[in-house]
Each structure stands twice: as C-alpha cells, then as structure tokens.
Structure 1
Amino acid sequence: MKIIKNLFVLTLLFLSIFSASAQTKAEKDNLSLNSGTIDNQFEFVIRRSNNYQDYKVVKKNWLYMLKAHTLDSLKAVHKDLTDTQLVIENQAKEISDLKSNLTNTQTSLDQTNTEKNNMALFGMQMSKTNYNVLMWTIIAALLALLIFFIYKYNNSNAVTKDAKHALSEIEEEFEEHRKTALEREQKVRRQLQDEINKQKGL
C-alpha cells in the first residue's frame, strides 16, 4: 500500500515538474525583442542574457533596441496625452457654450411666462401651455446634451489621468532598468579589467 502511495506521489511530482518546465519553455519561446509589450521585451533580455556569476551579461545591441522601443512607447504615450488634452479643451468649450445657451433659453422662458396666454412664435400663435411644453423640451434636450458632454469630459479626464499614470510608471520602470543595466555593465567592465590586470601580472 505504501509503495502505491509513493508511486502516486512520485508520478504527481514528475507531472507537475514536467508541466512547469513546458510552460516556462513556452513562455520563453513566445518572448521577443521586436514585438510585445515593453515588459515582455525586458523579460526577453533578462532570460536570454548570459549568466556570469551573480550577473547577467547583456548584448549591447539588445540594450539599444530596448531603449529605442521604450522611447517609442513614451512618444506614443505623450502623443496620446496631447491628443486627449485637445479633446478635453474642445469639450470644455462646448460645455461652456451649452451652459450659455441654456442660460439664454431660461431667460427667454422667464420673459415669455410674463406675457399673455396667446403669443406668437415663428409667426404662429400658440397657447401658453403649448409654448411652455415646447420650451421645456428644448431645455431638456440642452440639459441632456450638457450631461452628455460632462460625461464625455469626465471620461476624457479619467483617460488623461490613466495615461499620465501609465507614463509615470513606464518612465520609472525604464529608469530603474537603465540604472540596473548600467550597474551591471560597470561591474562586468571592472571584472574584465581585473582579469586583464591579472593576465598582465602573469
């Protein structure tokens, strides 16, 4: 009975190790320096770099490509941010115009309510009730438009905040990776110089 349990445990352990190994290999094969997210490209550089003691030896051209891709991503984020800002400014102007139109409509409605029951509108006579219904319909439509543009403005504002936050995270991540890469390169250079000095000492 114990032998069967031990065999069962060993089989499960073997299957889990095999599955994890296959998954890691599949993930590694899917990574690329020429496509995917910046995070995936950094992961590609980290996984494909050679090991030297506790350090990673990274090809210079990989670093240059990674830098170029990161800068391209930052430019795209900056462009999206600028475009979003223009949309927000245009929508703010439209909201201001709508508020002005709404104020004018309300003033016109107040003046009309003081007049007689029958009044002319666009050359036609209509009752005060019909006139009020028409005016409130216009106001409701303007309010609906105002609410719609306020909603759009808030959405654009949220997109801008998200874009700024994403830009900040990308810049921080890039700076951290750049510092790490520089430190690694300096350590490798020092070790190489030490080896050269040892060889000269011989």
Structure 2
Amino acid sequence: MNKLLLLGLATLFFTFSATAQEIEESENPVEDEFTRIIEGSNDYQGYKVVDYNDLVKLKQNTANFISNLNNEIVTQNNTIEQQQKEITQLKNNLESTQDNLKEVTAEKDAITFLGMPFSKGTYMALMWGIVAILILFLLFFIFQFKKGHAQTTEARNNLIATDKEFDEYKAKALVKEQRLGRLLQDERNKASDR
C-alpha cells in the first residue's frame, strides 16, 4: 500500500513537471510574437507604430493562449482532485489493510483451547503450568508410593519376624506339650503300677 501511495505521489509530481514545461514552451511563442511586433514596428516621433492586423492577431493569440492556460489549469485542477481522491482512497485502503493485518496477526497469534482464545504466550504459560502441576502430582504420588512401599516392607518384615516368633513359640509349645504329655503319661503309668 505504501508503494501505491508513493506511485501516486510520483505520478502527481511528473504531471506538474510536464505541465510546467508545456506552459514554458507555450509562453515562448507569445513572447516571441510580442518581440517580433515590437521589432517590426516603425518609429514615428518617438512612438512605435504597429500594424493593426498584427495587433489583432496578437490579441487573438494572447486570448487563445490565456484560454489554453485556463483550460490547462482546469485540467490540472481536475487531475489534482482526482489524484487527491486516489490518495484518500489509497490511505483508506492502507488503513483497512493495516486493520486486516492486525486482525490476521491476532488470529495467527491466538490459539483456541477449550473453546477460549488465548495468545501464544498465555497458552504456553498455561500449558507449562499444567505440566508443572502434573509433575508436582507425580512427585507427590511417587513420594506417597515410596512411603507406602517402605511401610509395606516394614510390615512384611514385622510379619515375617512375628511368624518366626510364632513358629518358635509353636515349636516350644509343642515340645512343652509333648514333655507334659510324657510326664502325664509317666504319672499315669506310675499310678496304675501302684
């Protein structure tokens, strides 16, 4: 859009330059005609005598020249108005394009998550926040698992030790029971022998 604006301004500049050259070129014939009439006139008692037909022709040429200049001014004014309209339109197009560019950039930078639009920075912060929370939960569960595992291992060791003690107690109790059973049988045998 900036290129179009520059192109429009360059066109306007060249149009004015060309018009100025045309005006300079068209002024020369009138000046030349004035010079020719003055130089071609006769002197009479300190006055210049000019041919009437030359004056009429000069008047017509001058009127034509002024008319051409007026037409050129009107044309140039129309050109200026047209170029100003084009410049205004280009500026409006530029503003519209810049607004569209801002919208497209915002849409490009936006990410929709759970139906809500987020900028890339916010989205990244949200995702890293979720990852950090998940890592914290993972560490918490690992800690709880290790703690539970340690408690379970301790409980198993205690159970094994208790089982060993119980087995030893059962063995001692069995030995004691057998010994008491023999003593009882020995006493019964002694009592029946008597």
Q: TM-score, normalised by structure 1?
A: 0.44
Richer in helix (by share): 2
Query: Which structure is higher in RCO with an 8 Å CA cutoff and minimum separation 6?
Result: 1
